[in-house]
Amino acid sequence: MVTRTRQPKWLTTERKTELLSLFASSRGLCVYGDDNCLEPSHHYEYYIEKLIGNWKLDDREVARLDWLLERQAMHSSGEARYRAGRFGSIGTEIYHGSQPLFFIEALGMSGVKLEPFAKVKLSSSMLRLNVDIGSSLKGLSKNKKRKALRHGKPLPHRTQAEVSRLVFQAVRDYLRS
């Protein structure tokens, strides 16, 4: 049975090749090619100790950066962060002016009247309205009504336009009062 010795983590194939080529070119003596070098830090043994130490530091730094990137990816919400506030006064006006008047959050059946209604959120407000859309779903099959009301499936284009019209009228009436 062949047993393999565990290699250090810093010893990749490229680094092993670099150490071997350095040894072959220096013949185990001065790594800078001087035959009569008396400087101990230039000799192969001392030089590779520093080189390996630098490789270990590089590996630690790469592992630390990988960890930071993974941590940032796990914990960031993907939203931009604004230090001095999100908008100025003009930016606020432009933003609120470009927002739709309402959002249709859901369609459902009223437990009191047993008629369909739309749950509508007014933009830039916490207010929600329940708008009766009774006759707008009359032309749909029972299956399509159920899928739209229970599972949030999209309505046919013509029916969706009718629901949007009814909701718009209800929101307009609410805002006028």
**Per-residue pLDDT, 82:** 67
CB atoms within 10 A of CB 14: 8
Note the pLDDT of residue 84: 63
Cα separation, 110 vs 175, in Å, equals 23
Compute the distance between CA of residue 137 and CA of residue 62 in angstroms, rounded to an integer: 60
Asked if residues 119 and 130 have their Cβ atoms less than 8 Å apart, the reply is yes
- The pLDDT value recorded for residue 120 is 93
- Integer distance in angstroms from the first to the last C-alpha of the chain? 89
Bridge-based pairing state of the strands 128-132 and 102-109: unpaired
Tell me the two tokens of residue 74: 């796990």
C-alpha 120/C-alpha 129 separation (Å) is 5
Q: In what order do the strands lie in the sheet with 128-132?
A: 102-109, 116-122, 128-132
Q: How far is CA 165 from CA 24, 127, 159, 168, 175, in A?
A: 83, 19, 10, 5, 15
Q: How does pLDDT run along the chain (177 residues), one tens digit per residue?
A: 667 778 888 888 888 898 888 888 887 788 877 777 777 777 888 888 888 899 999 999 999 999 999 988 888 776 666 666 666 777 778 877 888 888 888 888 888 888 888 999 988 788 899 999 888 888 888 898 888 888 888 888 898 899 999 999 999 999 898
Nearest of 154, 162, 176 to residue 134 by alpha carbon: 162
